[in-house]
Amino acid sequence: MYRCKNIYLWFVVCFLTTIFFVACRNESNVGLPDEPFFSANAGNDTTITIGQTYTLNGEVVSDSVNLSYDYEWVMISQPSSSSITLTGANSKRASFIPQVAGEYFLRLTISFEEIIDEDEIVIMVR
């Protein structure tokens, strides 16, 4: 009889332990959808003049939860004789001062944990 109780107890402990580990394994991404639940907005394409400081203002659209996001601005392309570096590239607002006329293509990437959305903007400099 004593041996039977030990086997029963062992079975219950193993069963509960298995349920616990399965539940914990699936808990890491609880509540996060596979698709972005927000949209990145880099702003509208615009035209500026040479030497004018332009401030990029990225924003999150369709965010009903108001979470803390990571921002990254990247210069995709610029005129060949230009060598602009962005100030504040890892923030919501970045800026640059173009010294060469032409088109400047920039990409804004906004992320929250593993979820990412991107938007692009074109700045025409004259």
Q: Which residue has the tokens 């332990």?
A: 17
Q: What is the widest separation between alpha-carbon atoms in the chain?
A: 92
For the cut 90, the answer to whether the pLDDT of residue 59 exceeds it is: yes
Burial of 115 (0-12, 13-18, 19+ CB in 10 A): middle
DSSP 36: -
Give CA–CA dist 50/42, Å, rounded.
21
* pLDDT on residue 50: 97
- CA-closest candidate to residue 38, choices 125, 90, 113, 98: 113
Give 16's pLDDT tier (boundaries 50, 70, 90).
low
Least confident of 7-11, 20-24, 40-44: 20-24
Give CA–CA dist 55/48, Å, rounded.
11
Backbone phi and psi for residue 96, each to the nearest 5 degrees, phi listed first: -155, 160
Q: What's the CA dihedral at 28, 30, 34, 35 to 10 degrees? A: -130
6's enclosing H/E stretch is: helix 2-25
Give tens-digit pLDDT for 78-118: 999 999 999 999 999 999 999 999 999 999 999 998 889 99
* pLDDT on residue 62: 79
Identify the CATH homologous superfamily for domain 39-125: Immunoglobulins (2.60.40.10)
CA 89 to each of CA 3, 9, 33: distance values in angstroms, whole numbers, following the listed order? 68, 59, 27
